Structure 1
Amino acid sequence: MTDFFNARYLQEQYDHMAESYMESRSLFDNTDQLDELAKLIPPKSTVLDLGCGTGLPVAKFFTERGYNVTGIDLSDSMIRLAKKNVPDAVFYSENIVNADLSGDSCDLIVSFYCLFHLRKEQQREIFNKIMHWLKSGGYAYFTLATKEYTGQEDFEGTIHFENNILPYSHYSSAEYSKIFQDIGATLVSMNKHTIGGETMLWVLLKKPKNPKS
Structure 2
Amino acid sequence: MATPATPPLPGDILPTYRRVADRFAVLRTTALFERPMLDALERATPGRDLLDLGCGTGRPLAQHLQRRGFRLTGVDGAAPMLTHYRRNVPGARTCCRDMRGLALRQRFHALLAWNSFFHLDPTAQSRMFPVFAAHLRPGGVLVFSSGPARGEAYGAVDGAPVYHASHDPLCYRSMLTRAGFRVLMFRPEDPALDRHSWWLCRRT
Select which of 9, 15, 35 maps to 1:12.
Answer: 15
Unpaired stretches in structure 2, ≥5 consecutive residues = 1-5
Partner of 1:180: 176
Q: CA deviation at 1:25?
A: 3.1
- Identity of paired residues, percent? 21
Select which of 117, 137, 140 maps to 1:138.
Answer: 140
Partner Cα distance (1:42, 1:180) in 2: 19
Partner of 2:117: 115
In the alignment, does 2:51 pair up with 1:48? yes
Q: CA deviation at 1:78?
A: 0.7
Partner of 1:162: 158
Partner Cα distance (1:70, 1:160) in 2: 26
Q: CA deviation at 1:28?
A: 4.4
Q: CA deviation at 1:181?
A: 1.9
**Residue type of the partner of 2:113?**
S
The answer as to whether partners of 1:124 and 1:179 remain within 8 angstroms in 2 is: yes
RMSD of the TM alignment (CA)? 2.2
User: In 2 relative to 1, CA 183–28 (structure 1 residues): closer, same or farther, beyond 3 Å?
Assistant: same
In the alignment, does 2:44 pair up with 1:34? no
Q: CA deviation at 1:158?
A: 3.8
Partner of 1:203: 199
The answer as to whether partners of 1:27 and 1:196 remain within 8 angstroms in 2 is: no
Partner Cα distance (1:134, 1:42) in 2: 11
Q: Please list the CA deviations of residues 9-43 of structure 1 after superposition, one character each: whole Å capped at 9, or x if unmatched.
A: 32221122223323333244222321232222355
Provide the aligned length of Structure 1 versus Structure 2. Answer: 197
User: In 2 relative to 1, CA 176–102 (structure 1 residues): closer, same or farther, beyond 3 Å?
Assistant: same
- TM-score normalised to the size of structure 1? 0.83
Once the two structures are overlaid, the 10-residue window that deviates more, 159-168 or 79-88, is 159-168
The answer as to whether partners of 1:157 and 1:168 remain within 8 angstroms in 2 is: yes
**Residue type of the partner of 1:179?**
M
Partner Cα distance (2:76, 2:177) in 1: 27
User: In 2 relative to 1, CA 159–186 (structure 1 residues): closer, same or farther, beyond 3 Å?
Assistant: same
SS of the residue aligned with 2:186? strand
The answer as to whether partners of 1:107 and 1:138 remain within 8 angstroms in 2 is: yes
Unpaired stretches in structure 1, ≥5 consecutive residues = 147-152, 209-213
Partner of 1:85: 88
Q: CA deviation at 1:182?
A: 2.2
The answer as to whether partners of 1:97 and 1:126 remain within 8 angstroms in 2 is: yes
Q: CA deviation at 1:185?
A: 1.0
In the alignment, does 2:61 pair up with 1:65? no
- TM-score normalised to the size of structure 2? 0.86
